[in-house]
């Protein structure tokens, strides 16, 4: 093999070695720990936590003696109530909020250009059928609400019910 033909070969070998090395040294995304408060015996809360665990989040589950008092002390009003309240990376999450909504808000709040000081967190009030942890043969449409510090809210994401026959 001539010197000229060995150069491309050596370059190819170096590139093949560099790719796994770059993958090994790349920064891993550190997910914030989820601190969840729930009523004892509520199984749908555990199912919601399983969704987050599957995505790489560590969920610390705490049974609250008085979930209403815990929720209010954290800053969530009763009108947004569900069966569990969670703290995730500086935001509060009430109920069966989908992971995509949580990650979207976390990303927005981490970016100085999109962060909003008036945001408390997200809520999926009640226990919407078909939401994460509330899987159902008859899912319903529901909204994830963005909760503001003044107690107001707005629709953050609408989740339509699947079309008939699309379940």
Single pTM value for the model = 0.80
Q: Are the C-beta atoms of residues 153 and 94 closer than 8 Å to each other? A: no
pLDDT, residue 60, reads: 97
Task: Give the C-alpha separation, 70 to 68, whole Å.
Answer: 5
3-state secondary structure of 35: strand
Mark the ranges of the chain whose per-residue pLDDT is less than 70: 1-29, 164-167
Spell out the residues 6+ positions from residue 129 whose beta carbon is closer than 8 angstroms to its own: 136, 138, 139, 140
pLDDT, residue 13, reads: 44
Backbone φ and ψ for 151, nearest 5 degrees, come out as 95, -10
pLDDT, residue 164, reads: 63
Q: Are the C-beta atoms of residues 94 and 101 closer than 8 Å to each other? A: no
Task: Give the C-alpha separation, 122 to 115, whole Å.
Answer: 14
pLDDT, residue 19, reads: 47
Label residue 5 exposed, middle or buried (CB < 10 Å: 0-12, 13-18, 19+): exposed
Rounded to 5°, the CA angle 121-152-90 comes to 15
């Amino acid at each position: 093999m001539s010197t000229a033909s060995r150069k491309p070969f050596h370059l190819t070998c170096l590139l093949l070695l560099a790719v796994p090395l770059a993958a090994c040294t790349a920064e891993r995304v550190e997910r914030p720990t989820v601190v969840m408060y729930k009523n004892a015996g509520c199984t749908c809360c555990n199912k919601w936590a399983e969704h987050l665990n599957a995505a790489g989040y560590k969920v610390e589950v705490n049974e609250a003696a008085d979930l209403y008092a815990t929720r209010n002390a954290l800053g969530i009003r009763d009108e947004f109530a569900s069966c569990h309240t969670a703290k995730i990376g500086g935001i509060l999450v009430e109920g069966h909020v989908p992971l995509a909504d949580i990650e979207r808000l976390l990303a927005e709040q981490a970016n100085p250009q999109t962060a909003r000081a008036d945001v408390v967190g997200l809520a999926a009030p009640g226990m919407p059928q078909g939401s994460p942890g509330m899987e159902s043969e008859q899912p319903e449409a529901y909204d994830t609400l963005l909760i503001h510090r003044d107690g107001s809210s707005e629709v953050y994401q609408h989740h339509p019910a699947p079309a008939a026959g699309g379940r």
